[in-house]
Chains A and B, each alone.
Chain A
Amino acid sequence: MLKDITLGQFFPGKSIVHRLDPRTKILLLIIYIVALFLAKSWCSYGLVLLFLIAVTCLGRIPFKAMTRGLKPMLVFIIFTAVLNLFYTKSGTKLLDWWIFEIWSDGIITAFFMVMRIMMLICGTFLMTYTTSPIALTDALERLMNPLKKLHVPVHELAMMMSIALRFIPTLIEETDKIISAQKARGADFETGSLMRRAKALIPILVPLFVSAFRRADELATAMECRCYHGGEGRTRLKVLRYAGRDWVAFLVGALLLAGVIVLRRLGL
């Protein structure tokens, strides 16, 4: 039951998008988002959309997986569309009924806003679909390296993130087990008032917290046994290195951004 939860699921693969350096992908995502927010015409939106579709195809990610990612955001998307539809008051008036007014610009703005949000979500999903969580934290650590000068504990933050990611499946499995065990003792989680159901969670949460603390303690000991002492002087097994394809990717990203800016200047 709990196993169905996916959090920025990773689709393992060997495509060119998968093989890009994770740092490249993060930076490219930022470029993509900036381009998306600078776009304000049909042409520039089209250009960004083209880029999105091209990367999706290159990464061999099924379009179904992309639309599935949009589903949980549907309410938010519709809400934005409705707000934009009724609050833009320029262009020609198309409808005037009771307190509702719809203007031609409203329709266009609503459409663009919906496109923008959907493309934003799809772009982010594209990155998590093609990059393993471990590679992502690795890349974040490297990208945030300059912040060390400001005494930001970059390595520790990255380590915390990878440990958290590593333990999500473990804790889900553990929760499943505890739920089964308490059900076997006749616990009932499905009926009763809200108060009763909240109370019914105690037999799950207490053992879960106890075991999480126990695991943390064991992990800390195990790490210390292997001489872990933080990021100082620590080398890596897999050193991230930019390859030729990364520079090509940066070039494509730069062209995308330039294209959007030029189109904006031209007023298209």
Chain B
Amino acid sequence: MDPTKSIIEIKDLTHTYSSGTPFEHTAVAHIDLSFHPGELAGIIGHTGSGKSTLIQHLNGLLKPTSGQVLFQGEDIWKDKKFTHSIRGRVGLVFQYPEYQLFEENCWKDIAFGPKNQGISGDELDARVRRAAGFVGISEALLEKSPFDLSGGQKRRVAIAGVIAMEPDVLILDEPTAGLDAAGRDAILENIRAYQAAQNAAVIMVSHSMEEVADLCSRLIVMNKGRVAMDGTPAEVFTHVDELTEMGLSVPQVTSVFARLRAMGLDLPADVYTVRYAVARLQERKGGRSC
């Protein structure tokens, strides 16, 4: 696959809910975006900014009111069979995915997705075990009922259920919501591992600026159904005032640096991770002592 070619492309997408009724509401309007294999993109935005509507278009769960979604250059709505097959190529993990577990043991639940794709036998078993490996679910747990697991483990089994379809594009809606720090780090590590191993495009919706700043190479900011910003975290987080106006924040370290700069210190504006901040500060300190 050509890495420079986009794997999924959104063209002038608009979606209107309950159109033709008094409850008509346009959730997203005139969106143009494209994603490349191997890309790790974060989508941030205020509640109701259209993030969830947008991602549900990428695997054909919602049909655009106008505009197109192209997967490897082909319209995903061109025929029914194609739309259905897209669901396996573009994996979507919903918010709180543990609430969709239903099988009697974890193995069966993870196998649900690939089975729907028509995979069976040894290949199915291999897929399930591979997916379980990505999210750190041990062989012993595969035999257990998903309802006996802890919250974090359930979440990982549910994510494995999507990963087992081995999608080229993996979309996650707030994968770390409601988890403790250790669970959060583990899941983010799992996502990165999958992305690296499959050269998949990963799109992550998040509320945590620290999380996307740390993980993503590209940030898309949604506001009122439109793409407000699209760039690297360094580019996006320099617009502190605009982000605040949209009801978003910047990583804490970025706001600390912004305050320091306002106080007249000569510091870089593109600081968004603690690691980077420490390196720059040490650089300065070293410079002064010389």
Task: Please determine whether B94 and A181 come into contact, CB atoms closer than 8 angstroms.
Answer: yes
- Compute how far the CA of A186 lies from the CA of B56 in the bound complex, rounded to whole angstroms: 14
Task: Please determine whether B165 and A186 come into contact, CB atoms closer than 8 angstroms.
Answer: yes
A169 adjacent to chain B (CB < 8 Å): no
| Chain B nearest CB, measured from A123 CB (Å) | 26
A184 adjacent to chain B (CB < 8 Å): yes
- Compute how far the CA of A123 lies from the CA of B117 in the bound complex, rounded to whole angstroms: 52
Mask for B151-162, Cβ within 8 A of A = 1, else 0? 000000000011
A177 adjacent to chain B (CB < 8 Å): yes
Task: Please determine whether A180 and B116 come into contact, CB atoms closer than 8 angstroms.
Answer: no
Which bracket fits the contact residues of A? 10 to 19
Segment of B63-71, B99-107, B122-130, B213-221 in the binding face: B99-107
Task: Please determine whether A187 and B116 come into contact, CB atoms closer than 8 angstroms.
Answer: yes
| Chain A nearest CB, measured from B139 CB (Å) | 22
Which bracket fits the contact residues of B? 20 to 34
Mask for B80-104, Cβ within 8 A of A = 1, else 0? 0000100110011110010111100
Also in contact, A184 and B102, with CB within 8 A (given A203-B112, A210-B147)? no
A14 adjacent to chain B (CB < 8 Å): no
**Other-chain contact of B84, A177, A181, A186, A210 (Cβ < 8 Å):** A186
Chain B, range 105-119, C-beta contacts under 8 Å to A: 112-113, 116-117
Task: Please determine whether B112 and A185 come into contact, CB atoms closer than 8 angstroms.
Answer: yes
A210 CB contacts on chain B under 8 angstroms: 99, 102, 147
Task: Please determine whether B162 and A185 come into contact, CB atoms closer than 8 angstroms.
Answer: yes
Chain B, range 47-82, C-beta contacts under 8 Å to A: 56, 59, 61
Q: Across the two chains, which residue of chain A brings its CB closest to B61?
A: A180
A-B contact list, 8 entries, CB within 8 Å: A177-B99, A181-B97, A184-B61, A184-B93, A185-B87, A186-B87, A187-B116, A210-B99
Also in contact, A182 and B100, with CB within 8 A (given A188-B116, A203-B112)? yes
Mask for B184-215, Cβ within 8 A of A = 1, else 0? 00000000000000000000000000000000
Q: Across the two chains, which residue of chain A brings its CB closest to B97?
A: A181
Q: Across the two chains, which residue of chain B brings its CB closest to A182?
A: B100
Q: Across the two chains, which residue of chain A brings its CB closest to B162?
A: A185
Also in contact, A185 and B147, with CB within 8 A (given A203-B102, A203-B112, A207-B99)? no
Interface residues of A (CB under 8 A from B): 177-178, 180-188, 202-203, 206-207, 210-211
| Chain A nearest CB, measured from B163 CB (Å) | 11
Task: Please determine whether A207 and B102 come into contact, CB atoms closer than 8 angstroms.
Answer: yes
A186 CB contacts on chain B under 8 angstroms: 84, 87-88, 113, 116-117, 165
Q: Across the two chains, which residue of chain A brings its CB closest to B158?
A: A181
| Chain A nearest CB, measured from B71 CB (Å) | 15
Also in contact, A207 and B101, with CB within 8 A (given A180-B61, A183-B87, A188-B116)? yes
Task: Please determine whether A180 and B162 come into contact, CB atoms closer than 8 angstroms.
Answer: no
Task: Please determine whether A206 and B102 come into contact, CB atoms closer than 8 angstroms.
Answer: yes
B94 CB contacts on chain A under 8 angstroms: 177, 180-181, 184
B113 CB contacts on chain A under 8 angstroms: 185-186
A211 CB contacts on chain B under 8 angstroms: 99
Closest A-B pairs by Cβ, 6 of them: A186-B116, A206-B102, A185-B113, A181-B100, A184-B92, A181-B94
